[in-house]
Chains A and B, each alone.
Chain A
């Protein structure tokens, strides 16, 4: 039984710059793994590689034993990997409800023709999706915003909505890209709880890119540290914290507030 996600000596170069170099890592079936590193270490690039936004220059990425290389982002989402974005990318003009509804896209049976004919099965399915959407929204306390356009939500709620939207694609692995960015300490504590809750409630694996050490150290079972695209350490939060290479990599950087 291979791990859920495997990165096998993954390298990507942009022109002369090697953004990620020979990265080997894995995420288990129900694991919460953190990926940390100073600014520009290549963390988000790793996400973009996994989700097919970029293609690796060399190496292989496997999910549940199957290679993801060469697949398009929407196909990878179809293989049960969902993500959020560092700079929130909701559908601003769509309502909160529609933002989540549209993410059920992969699981609806109707298409253009059914949208036109609008037979009974179409209505039944739409009703079912609406119910599931509301259920998800209510779990995350967003039900009250259902008809607001996503762009009008407060910042924290937008972050949460983005996570809900990702969950609506029914992932086995959720990639969270700096979910704590721009949050105050109270919000961060809540977020930590929320991530744990998601992992248990939906029985999924989570890979977390985060700048904020407090958040990462608080919830991750295992942490990998990137610096200039190279993995310099890996282990439990305690091990990583004690690793001299990690301390050195973060030295010179301003200490992260939080």
Chain B
């Protein structure tokens, strides 16, 4: 017996699989945008667990993505020759294992960032996670074993629509299922009022760490998908601006509103593509849009009864 939500998950996985079978008939531009959408959904929904549901403001999500991307790519690129035969040369076994390894490394990083910084709130946490993201980027730039500033090339193109949207579906299910239980309401309690949450017997530290570890894990997986899609990764692709992009998706979607965040991820991905025709003015328009939207709808585009937070 499966729960109803689990049938939805299976249906989503099946749909991704079917879409994947027909991917040959889509044009490559469409495919490119679709895969980017899927990756961004995974990134935004996983960040929504940290920023939205648990109320911890992380500005370093791209750092976790980078860790996952580099770890998975090193496995498939440098060690693929040795490891692939172990699973009978089957990439459909090898690829998810490599992705998973990337996710685990990223979640360990999530733990390392989470534990010392959890006492910090709001702005401070944002700055420290930003600093963490930058440190990751600078480290990657200076380690020659991973290509330094030139990046990693020759990553096999394992990513398909199935892996991309399968992962997105699993991420959405995980975050949904985690939050929708008596245990999971604790995440929202932490974001609402930490002192009251502690008084209800909720170990706020543990919840925050769980959110960071799970969020980082999926960001790491998304990084792996991204790397095996672009077949090339470089440190500057995982900078501060990527983290901001994900945060903007979460905020526009409405903090702690998964459906809104998914829609926002798709909208912003498509919008970024549309803005390309404006060339040099693209980023100007993008930043203007952020400002205007934050002023006009700070509770998110899709939250009609946005909850009010105490401003610190």
Please report A residues at the B interface, Cβ cutoff 8 Å: 51, 53, 72-74, 77-78, 82-83, 85, 89-94, 98, 101-106, 108, 110-112, 114-116, 118, 120, 122-123, 125-126, 129, 149, 151, 165-166, 168-169
Q: Is the pair A73, B183 in contact by a Cβ cutoff of 8 Å?
A: no
B182 contacts which of A51, A116, A129, A149 (Cβ < 8 Å)? A129
Please measure, in the bound complex, the distance between the C-alpha atom of A215 and the C-alpha atom of B202, giving whole angstroms.
Answer: 31
Query: Smallest CB–CB gap between A207 and chain B, Å?
Result: 14
B88 CB-CB contact with A under 8 Å = no
B196 contacts which of A85, A104, A149 (Cβ < 8 Å)? A85
Please measure, in the bound complex, the distance between the C-alpha atom of A83 and the C-alpha atom of B199, giving whole angstroms.
Answer: 7
B185 contacts which of A73, A102, A123, A149 (Cβ < 8 Å)? A102
Q: Is the pair B185, A169 in contact by a Cβ cutoff of 8 Å?
A: no
Query: Smallest CB–CB gap between A133 and chain B, Å?
Result: 9
Q: Known A110-B181, A122-B181, A149-B305; judge A77-B199 contact (CB<8 A).
A: yes
Q: A89-B195, A114-B183 are in contact. List 18 more A-B contacts (CB 8 A).
A: A53-B195, A72-B203, A74-B198, A74-B201, A91-B196, A92-B307, A94-B185, A101-B182, A105-B201, A110-B181, A112-B178, A112-B183, A115-B177, A116-B174, A118-B2, A118-B5, A166-B200, A169-B201
Query: Smallest CB–CB gap between B273 and chain A, Å?
Result: 34
**Is chain A's interface secondary structure helix, strand, loop, or mixed overall?**
helix
Q: Is the pair A151, B308 in contact by a Cβ cutoff of 8 Å?
A: yes
Please report B residues at the A interface, Cβ cutoff 8 Å: 1-3, 5-6, 174, 177-178, 180-186, 188-189, 191-193, 195-204, 210, 214, 256, 305, 307-308
Q: Is the pair A94, B183 in contact by a Cβ cutoff of 8 Å?
A: no
Query: Smallest CB–CB gap between B284 and chain A, Å?
Result: 35
Q: Is the pair B3, A102 in contact by a Cβ cutoff of 8 Å?
A: no
A98 to chain B: which residues have CB within 8 Å? 185, 188
B191 to chain A: which residues have CB within 8 Å? 93
Please measure, in the bound complex, the distance between the C-alpha atom of A111 and the C-alpha atom of B206, giving whole angstroms.
Answer: 12
Q: Is the pair A120, B201 in contact by a Cβ cutoff of 8 Å?
A: no
Q: Is the pair B189, A110 in contact by a Cβ cutoff of 8 Å?
A: no
Q: Which residue of A lies closest to B305 (CB)?
A: A149
B214 to chain A: which residues have CB within 8 Å? 112
23 contacts between A and B (CB under 8 A): A74-B198, A78-B201, A82-B200, A85-B195, A85-B199, A90-B193, A90-B196, A91-B189, A92-B193, A93-B256, A94-B189, A94-B192, A105-B182, A105-B200, A108-B182, A112-B184, A115-B177, A115-B178, A115-B183, A115-B184, A126-B181, A149-B305, A151-B308
Q: Is the pair B178, A103 in contact by a Cβ cutoff of 8 Å?
A: no
B200 contacts which of A92, A120, A151, A169 (Cβ < 8 Å)? A169
A168 to chain B: which residues have CB within 8 Å? 200
B188 to chain A: which residues have CB within 8 Å? 91, 93-94, 98, 102
Q: Which of B177, B182, B183, B195 has the most CB of A within 10 A?
A: B182
Q: Is the pair A112, B210 in contact by a Cβ cutoff of 8 Å?
A: yes
Query: Smallest CB–CB gap between B82 and chain A, Å?
Result: 33
A104 to chain B: which residues have CB within 8 Å? 182
Q: Is the pair A77, B198 in contact by a Cβ cutoff of 8 Å?
A: yes
Q: Is the pair B202, A93 in contact by a Cβ cutoff of 8 Å?
A: no
Query: Smallest CB–CB gap between B304 and chain A, Å?
Result: 12
Q: Is the pair A105, B202 in contact by a Cβ cutoff of 8 Å?
A: yes
Please measure, in the bound complex, the distance between the C-alpha atom of A51 and the C-alpha atom of B195, giving whole angstroms.
Answer: 11
Q: Which residue of B lies closest to A94 (CB)?
A: B188
B186 to chain A: which residues have CB within 8 Å? 102, 105
A85 to chain B: which residues have CB within 8 Å? 195-196, 199
Query: Smallest CB–CB gap between A96 and chain B, Å?
Result: 12
Q: Is the pair A165, B178 in contact by a Cβ cutoff of 8 Å?
A: no
Q: Is the pair B182, A165 in contact by a Cβ cutoff of 8 Å?
A: no
